[in-house]
Structure 1
Amino acid sequence: MSIPMIVRDFFGGAITASTRTDLIDAADIRQVPDTQEVLLYTNSSVSIIVEILERVEANDPVEAVRFHFDSVAHDNCAQSPIVEDVILPPNDRQNDRTPSAIVLKGEQKVTKFNRTTPDSVKILMALYRVEDKATDIVVTFNIPVASTDGGAVDPTAYQVVESEFDQFTRSFKIKDFSLFI
């Protein structure tokens, strides 16, 4: 059964993207920093994080997205972070100032909640570089594929989430650049 999709507002409508309708806004259940929007899947431990960050020094787009991936791995105390692929899709946005995404697919081993066995988490990351505002916007889909708490997704569900990530990144639109003052 396919979950319907909606265009969702982020940061008060300054950014929009298509997501499934049944996601939970993490701010409704816990504190979320002002620079982040966090959505949670209702039937698994999959999460989506949209984060506004200061632009990193790397001029090479592959180096920049790898920097953000490594930063997430560091913050998660991840073991064995692996970058599987980096894709530079063509800029097919017409009459839209939103930059194209730089897409990274990777995996991290993350030990959670004082457990001894790490979870395997697939990371789907899109980086949007707003150069004239010295801003990087990082979208991260965290998808547990092996988990000790039962929150992992099976291979079929992973393909669905990967498709939703692709739809999110293609529909991602910056509507109000004054957000980055």
Structure 2
Amino acid sequence: MLSEREAVTASKQFLELSGRILHLSTGHLAHSSCLGQLGPTVSGLKGAFSRLLVSVLSVDVWIAFPELRMQSIEISGKYLFSGYFSGVLPHGYKDISEVRDIPDNQEVFVHPHTDQSIIIELLEYQEHVGDAVAAKYHFEDLASSNEASSSGNSEVISVEPILKEEISLQECSSAWFLTGRQLVAKFNEEVKNTVNIYLGLFRLPQYTTDIVISFNDPVVIHPLSSSATSETALDISTPSWTVEQFRLLLQTFRLLNSSVFG
């Protein structure tokens, strides 16, 4: 019988190989002159194969993190960026790419009943920024995008390194976890909400890429904000996401095919 470590290694190898097969098979068929006739069949096979891989991904996580079974934490294995990456997202997410266009270097997921969101970004490697301050650099860049750069609107609470043995993305040179807070206006509203922001950073200089994964967790909603909702109107069928679930995404996030970097 395989040990837990051997089982995780075997399932990772299977996922990586299967991801390459999926890319190769659909890539060749996409250029086939018979695609019009084979389209429905190919689509069905790809869908079934993807569902199988996601099931294996979830089993991989159950093996690696048996405590999740004990806590009855619901998880959802997900192939990201067209199968080049994978990770485990909090249960019940909505994929924003299904309702509107987003940049190719982003994946955006939102909670169905709260303003919580998770954003995964493949960004240019900031060679001039040292590892120890790189997470803060990206947090400040996010504050600029949120128009929260002015004094008192943005705060870094803590930055800590993530040990390599705690993550699946072994290709990174270093990994970091930042906790911060920003005052952010929704859309073009004048009032601002207090949002806790948790940011994971994976640095991959060999691919000239910084991977930034952020979890936006509103904790104080201004009563005049469009996000203000009475407690009686909240749907509790999908509980609010937690920092622990976000950390699980960081731990399980992995690269399956390095050709994504060109």
Report the TM range for the smaller structure's normalisation. Answer: 0.7 to 0.9
Q: Measure, in 2, the Cα distance between the counterparts of 1:138 and 1:14.
A: 16
TM-score after normalising by structure 2: 0.62
Q: Which residue of 2 aligns with 1:150?
A: 228
Name the counterpart of 1:113: 187
Deviation of 1:77 after TM superposition, in Å, equals 0.3
Which residue of the partner structure matches residue 70 of structure 1?
Answer: 140
**Structure number, greater radius of gyration:** 2
Contact 1:101 1:169 in 2 (8 A): no
Q: Secondary structure at the match of 1:117?
A: coil
Could you list the structure 1 runs, at least 4 aligned residues long, displaced by more than 3 angstroms after superposition.
Answer: 93-98
Q: Distance in 1 between matches of 2:119 and 2:250?
A: 12
Task: Determine if contact 1:58/1:64 at 8 Å carries over to the other structure.
Answer: no
Could you say what secondary structure the match of 1:13 adopts? coil
TM-fit CA distance, 1:124: 0.5
Query: CA offsets, 1:2-57, max 9 Å, x none?
Result: 66202211101111111123100001112211110000111200011000011012
Percent identity between matched residues is 29
Q: Which aligned pairs between 1:13-162 and structure 2 lie closer than 5 A?
A: 13-78=83-148, 79=150, 80-92=153-165, 97-99=170-172, 100-147=174-221, 148=225, 149-150=227-228, 160-162=241-243
Contact persistence 2:124–2:209 (CA under 8 A)? yes
Paired AA for residue 180 in structure 2: G
The answer to which structure has the higher strand fraction is 1
- The unaligned stretches of length 5 or more in structure 2 are 1-70, 232-238
SS at match of 2:82: helix
Matches of 1:38 and 1:96 in 2, distance apart? 20
- Unaligned runs of 5+ residues in structure 1 are none
C-alpha separation in 1, matches of 2:183 and 2:230: 13
Task: Report the AA paired with residue 15 of structure 1.
Answer: F
* Aligned CA distance change for structure 1 residues 113 and 90 (closer, same or farther; 3 Å): closer
SS in 2 for 1:101: strand
Identify the structure with bigger relative contact order (alpha carbons < 8 Å, sequence gap 6+): 1
In terms of fraction of residues, the more helix-rich structure is 2
